[in-house]
Structure 1
Amino acid sequence: MMDSNARKVKEAPVKLAHDNGAPADFVSNMPHVVRLFSGEGVVARGLRAALATAMSPLQPAPSNVSTEAWAFKQTTFAAATFLYAAQVHGLATCPMEGFDQIRVRNALDIPDRYGVPVVVALGHPNPAVKPKTASVRLGPTEVFFDGKFGGSSENIFADM
């Protein structure tokens, strides 16, 4: 988040509640509620987990994950779309993870407050070059299941 917008973003829920005619005590409590449910830290994380556990029998709630985990998951959607778009335009891609984030950030002058969930190599394919060894990746039928976990997906991938 841009530093100049941080104050506006933090105050937005308070202004929204106040503009909608909420009682003054509710509005004055809002910064604490926002900090609890959007902040990181041991206390906030513990309280969110306790509330989610207590409320889950009454109302379904999403898993309690860190902001970084959420951002990394969201990035995979954008990366997948990028990979498909590159393929459509005749480009080859190679998504990579499991690298040293600190070195990547240093090499590309990325500020410390940002994470790097994936790096994608992109270029024109060379059809003359073939891999010398078979891929160590699992086959589609070992990763995707039909219906419930463990259900055979042979029929889905029959033409592959």
Structure 2
Amino acid sequence: MKYGLWFLFYFLSLNCFSQIKIELTKTKDNRKDYIFNKPSDSIYLKVGHHEDMGAWYGFYFEFKKSVPDDEYEVYINDKIKSKGLIKGYHKQGFWREYNDFGELVVIYKFKNGNLNGKTIRYHKNKKKKRISKYKNGKAIWYEDYNEDGKLVSKTYFYE
């Protein structure tokens, strides 16, 4: 009985704290999109690139509209690139994006797939670079900071 309860608790805790980890590889060949390390992960993401006069640039990934509710982590070449929650087919709550070295670059806050609340972008030295405020996907204001963390400008948007 004791072991049965322990097993049940362990099994339920795995489901409560599950995350879907998606791993991609970026090749050195600039004429190839990201490659899924596990082909089954292609059910979650669409990968692609932009093209101008035959030149490929701006490789990207985006979540498909049919992904199940869960926490997602996306890795490129074994470095975390993006992390957050999808609920009701939309990004929800805090999403974090990272640079090619796995260092935090920006924290977004979403509500029903729209930016809603503060977004914080960081300099390479980990000090804040820009703080933006959004409501229902529309920018309200933003503040820019220099690499020493000092406020240099503030911009407001009016409807």
* TM-score normalised over the length of structure 1: 0.24
Larger helix proportion of the pair? 1
Q: Going by fraction, where is strand more abundant, 1 or 2?
A: 2
Please identify the structure whose Cα radius of gyration is greater: 1
